[in-house]
Amino acid sequence: MIIQTKLFKIVRKKTILCFLTMISFPSTLLFASDYDLSADVRYRLENDKSSMVLPGRQSSINTLRSRIGLRFIGATASAHFTLQDSRIFGDVRNGLNETQDIFSYTFLHQAYFHFRYRKQLVQLGRFKLPLGEERIMSRNNWNLYGRSFEGLLVKSKHRIGELQMFVLSVQEVQSLLNYSTSVLLGVEDLDDGEYAHNDKLDSGIRGAYFSMKMKNRNIPAVEIYAIDFRFLPQDTVVTKHNYTIGLRSEILYNSFSFEGETALQTGDDIFGSLLSLNLKYKTDVFYWLKDIGLGFEYISGDDTTTLDKSEGFSKRFGARHKFHGYYDYLGHKSFFGNNHSGLLEFNLKANIDFLRESDMLASFHSFTEQSSGKAIGQELDITLNKKVSSELSFNQGLALYFPTEGKNPLLFLHFSIIAKL
């Protein structure tokens, strides 16, 4: 625990120094040997008729996510910045001086240093950290805001593979202390109601992700990982640990490809598991059909009869739409904590060469609660991607959800225009 606290303190200090350096010495960056600019703008229209909308009504929302990237490249180091503006049309009051809603704001999506130290590549600041197929750690790209982490990432290449080690700060807590809290934290000298920094209340992530090199070309990937998420449960002053240990692999055989991942989650009052199996077949029987796939997803749910622990597997930072369909059904697609009903899912997917420079992905999902075995529903997703040029593309799709309880299917439509420069 002492070592962990010191590591988080070191990361915070280095992160502060990193940003101070970027702000205080812009002239240094101007003399970098090279630099490049990039822009990524995504407009999306969403039309929803869900359980969250009044019966017989529908909801349409226009969103815009704009990113401007700037990278300075030097001989021994580089600096990366991504400014992001995320907004819902009509949410910002168009200069009428009304209160701006929290759903629209501008911030630094990424801001970090990149440099080599001996044989290691060091990254310090705010950055995206997708791991593997992003079941555990994702970019959350579907979201209007995406996901970034703040901390330290060290990459090192070895003879047998590449190792990523990271220490991330999730939440720095400054608490309004009362007497009972101060006693528990060992800071009784503070006056009642005084603000203080408390490392014991902070949330953070430590972990290692190792990608092995395989001599067999039919096994392109074997990855193992161990992640410790330290968090503060609601209404308590005692931090808990959520340890996740996992294995992911890919296997190729002629026209078949297999991808699987399994993980075990344990810690303070936690014991959950995850299993994902996906088989894909590249076919040339029909010129318009690229491949078909069959998948199985298992996410353990909480057993309500055991009061001393939670059996639900938490995908707090993992991708959801990528694996479980686009319809946000409240009954089973939230795995933020460990107290959920889990999921048993079978899915069938087909990748279709619809038109020139266009791909259509059709998928069917069947959902069942893992903890109770209760059928939840089925979902049909159809997504069409059209690439107009290297800079412009369109994405449109529908998600049709058939809940087990309820007569009418639920429909969700989305249309996106993406420009990358």
Domain of residue 392 covers 254-421
With 0-12 CB in 10 A as exposed, 13-18 as middle and 19+ as buried, what is 92? Answer: middle
Q: Counting every residue, how long is the chain? A: 421
Phi/psi of residue 388, nearest 5 degrees: -80, -45
* Residue 366: inside a domain: yes
Domain membership flag for residue 294: yes
Domain-located, residue 19: no
Q: What is the pTM of this model?
A: 0.83
Residue 209 within any structural domain of the chain: no
Reported as a single tens digit per residue, the pLDDT across 105-159 is 778 999 999 898 888 999 999 999 999 999 999 999 998 999 999 999 999 998 8
Tokens 């400014």: give the residue: 83
**Residue at 48 is within a domain:** no
Longest dimension (CA), the chain: 76
Which residues have CB under 8 Å from 64's CB, separation 6+?
A: 41, 42, 43, 44, 85, 86, 87, 89
Band (pLDDT 50/70/90 cuts) for residue 1 is very low
- Number of folded domains in the chain? 1
Tokens read off for 375: 């059928």
> Using one digit for the tens of pLDDT, what is the confidence trace for 185-233?
555 555 544 445 667 677 899 999 999 988 888 998 899 999 999 887 7
What pLDDT does residue 3 have? Answer: 40
- In-domain check, residue 336: yes
Residue 399 CB neighbours (<10 A): 24
**What is the pLDDT at residue 271?**
92
Task: Evaluate whether residue 1 is within a structural domain.
Answer: no
Kindly state whether residue 301 falls inside one of the protein's structural domains.
Answer: yes
